[in-house]
Amino acid sequence: MKTFDYDLLVIGAGSGGVRAARKCAEFGAKVAVIEERALGGTCVNVGCIPKKLYVYASEYGAAWRDAKGFGWQTEQPQFNWDTLRDNKTKEIARLNAIYERLLTSPGVDIIEGHGTLAGPQTVVVGDRTLSAEKILLATGTWPAMPDIPGVDLAINSNELFDLPRFPDRLLVVGGGYIATEFASTFAGLGADVVQSYRGDLFLRGFDHDVRGFLAEEMRKAGVDLRFNHDTHSLEAAESGAITAHLSDGRLDFDTVLCATGRRPNIAHLGLEHTAVKLNDSGYLCVNEQFQTDEPSIFALGDMTGGWELTPVAIAEAMVFAESQFNNTPQTMDYESIATAVFSSPPIGTVGLTEEAAQAAGYQTTIYQSEFRPLKHTLSGRDERTLMKLVIDTPSDRVLGAHMVGDDAGEICQGLAIALKMGATKADFDRTVGIHPTAAEEFVTMRAPRD
């Protein structure tokens, strides 16, 4: 019988890789994690956590202005970029240490360096060659930059958190949730922001009414949204600025962020030494057990091209660990996964959009409500909230719930439980709301949209 250095080698210490390594070790496997950067992966270091901290920071300026309508008479506050950036860095370091303890406590070995596959059961890290019965790839994705002249003057989303100086003029190229979140956040922090997107409307894949409503609200909040718009090239200006040649003219910016998608982080991973296959979009092909075409190699998380969300990677890691090292075969349930876009105002969504439901053949009834939140009757802010329910007419089942407005993510997390349990519109109608809240609107909408 062949012996191995480890039962499981995990390449990548992001959310999915760490959870899989920890649980497999708790189930008795001998496990090592290989990571060339900081523990915690994209989410902890250059994604969810720092992004949400910056979103919080961006909300204080608007809240300060809102306060005048509630009787708070104070001078205009001053934002200090260095304080936010440095406090964020301290918090990330604290989380890195927690992730290290999560791994070492159950006995996982942490190996620093770049792991390269040398075969179906062999990984090379520096001058070390390690063997394992099973290998799990969890290296995530990496920002993709557009092919335009001068793009080397731009930065990607990984780099925006640690700029030495705050960008008073920011160009955001892209129309996905990352571009949209950063456009909102930096506008809230006080930057003049232009968001350039080549399509008709940003956030493709989200409900159309939600997309259009958010565009209106972001413009109210000061983001210069430009759709059907191109950034042709970038060049360095003598002033030290970056001159962007746009489809509607030239503008100077302090920073240009390209948030134009992400690609599987597989550079120098050594896939060519294995039977692992990629799909047409460049993501790793896996079955329901996250097994690749190489039987000993598995992959999960963003690099497999599914839901690119931290909680999904963690849930997949649990399925992998239970199936492979706890003799409890499972499969991942991807139905009714809730998500949020931390724009200003934020989006919360769970289930099918109106367009997806109709494309799937459902006969739908739509309930939709738009209103001014109670808070802004005194703040004076011209911000509105949108809520929408997509119902399967014959069964009365709620197929999708969508919201644009304060606390949308928090509210839709609760709605996700109801949708997961197969709640009907009648169930929503029988539920007594909490008054006065925005959330009660989801259980008081009675008239279908025309």
Query: What per-residue string of b and e applies to 124-141 under the rule 16 or more CB within 10 Å gives b?
Result: bbeeeebbbbbbbbbbbb
User: 248 is written with which tokens?
Assistant: 């509607």
Residue 290's alpha-carbon distances to 4, 40, 108, 171, in angstroms, are 21, 21, 21, 38
Residue 42 belongs to some domain of the structure: yes
For residue 353, give its domain range.
339-443
From first CA to last CA, the distance across the chain in angstroms is 69
Return phi, psi of residue 327, to 5°: 55, 35
Residue 217 belongs to some domain of the structure: yes
At residue 77, the pLDDT reads 87
Query: pTM value?
Result: 0.96
Residue 449 belongs to some domain of the structure: no
Same domain, 238 and 267: no
What domain count does the chain have?
Answer: 3
Same domain, 102 and 202: no
Same domain, 420 and 360: yes
Residue 450 belongs to some domain of the structure: no
Residue 62 belongs to some domain of the structure: yes
Kindly give the parts of the chain with pLDDT less than 50.
none
User: 393 is written with which tokens?
Assistant: 């007419």
At residue 1, the pLDDT reads 62
Same domain, 343 and 319: no
Residue 146 belongs to some domain of the structure: no
Same domain, 269 and 120: yes
User: 446 is written with which tokens?
Assistant: 């009675």
Active site residues: 435
At residue 290, the pLDDT reads 98
Q: How far is CA 244 from the centre of its chain?
A: 27
